[in-house]
Structure 1
């Protein structure tokens, strides 16, 4: 009877020891995991273990700006075909649609020649969209005046961007060449747009 009692006590002690061991291991594992998770979270919060948010390259930024400028010129000039009153404005608008359609094709070729290749995004900027939206309800002389002003502004900004990008060593050579060759055309368009203003 005494032997059975000691065996029972011994078995209970082993069982308790085993439970204690498991608890310790679990506790240690949990602590280690928690510490690791906290360390990772801390590193992420400090930006040490995170890849930085991707930023567009100078080439991509320029290609997107050029594409959105072309898209704005085409969209606003298509409005002019139906809403302008002045024959001069309509003629200018037709030349802008043609010129900026050609510019878009040249841009795609230049962007495709970059290494790695770049795909221009023609999405209008918020400012371009706002200008386009402000032109939509206008007709006749009111449209002519607003369109002429928008064309001067858009071409001034485009010309400035082309000059900067053509000299930026971070922009791929094919896009720098595109910017350099396009600058005189944009300058001519700017002068034509200025001539439209009443």
Structure 2
């Protein structure tokens, strides 16, 4: 059994706490934007279902890789959370896609497969640092795509899933960011943070 470092031990507990909550539970409804036409909104719904399914496939594989290779408890714990949450979410996306006759990807996109291959070639803290940084960027992309869909979709099923998805991917992003801040070289931390995130980190005293 691999012995893991306790560097982000507190964040490991936080990551496990995320996994104990109901995954992708729907929040309160919010207004729908009417800026897009009905046809544009429908096309965006299809694009989001395909993109978020691809994201789920990547996160499941990345989570499994973290469970197998992580040097620190925080990365291993968050990896387990990602596998559990994104498996549940992918099942929801597939059910909705079937109802809308949308064909989803069944394997990793080439860029995602390349990212997994690159991570698989790393060891120790180098793996953990690159894995956490990749999780921050991947979840930022999912947040942007899902936020846009939540504001433009007119389909009740897509809206419900997008609204339920957004807070969970934000929690995943925040957990990965918190771990990365702890284990990354200090000179790299501020380069990776956007203004909003940097403000949140400063306010939290990290």
TM-score, with length taken from structure 1:
0.66
Deviation at 1:76, TM superposition (A): 1.1
- Determine whether 1:86 maps to 2:86: no
- 1:194 equivalent among 162, 170, 177: 177
Offset of 1:108 from its aligned partner? 1.4
Query: Which of 85, 108, 113 is the matching residue for 1:124?
Result: 108
Report the Cα distance in structure 1 between the residues aligned to 2:139 and 2:92, rounded to whole angstroms.
18
Quick check: 1:139 aligned with 2:123? yes
Match of residue 38 from structure 2? none
Q: Tell me the equivalent position of 2:91.
A: 105
Partner of 2:51: 65
Aligned to 2:142: 158
Structure index of larger Rg: 1
The structure with the largest helix share of the pair is 1
Give unmatched runs, 5+ long, in structure 2.
Answer: 1-41, 184-206
Residue 168 of structure 1 corresponds to: 152
- Number of equivalences: 140
Deviation track 1:16-74 (CA, whole Å, cap 9, x = no partner) reads xxxxxxxxxxxxxxxxxxxxxxxxxxxxxxxxxxxxxxxx9333211110111001001
Q: Kindly tell me: are residues 156 and 173 of structure 1, through their superposed partners in 2, closer, same or farther at Cα, counting changes over 3 Å?
A: same
Runs of 4+ in 1 over 4 A off after TM superposition: none
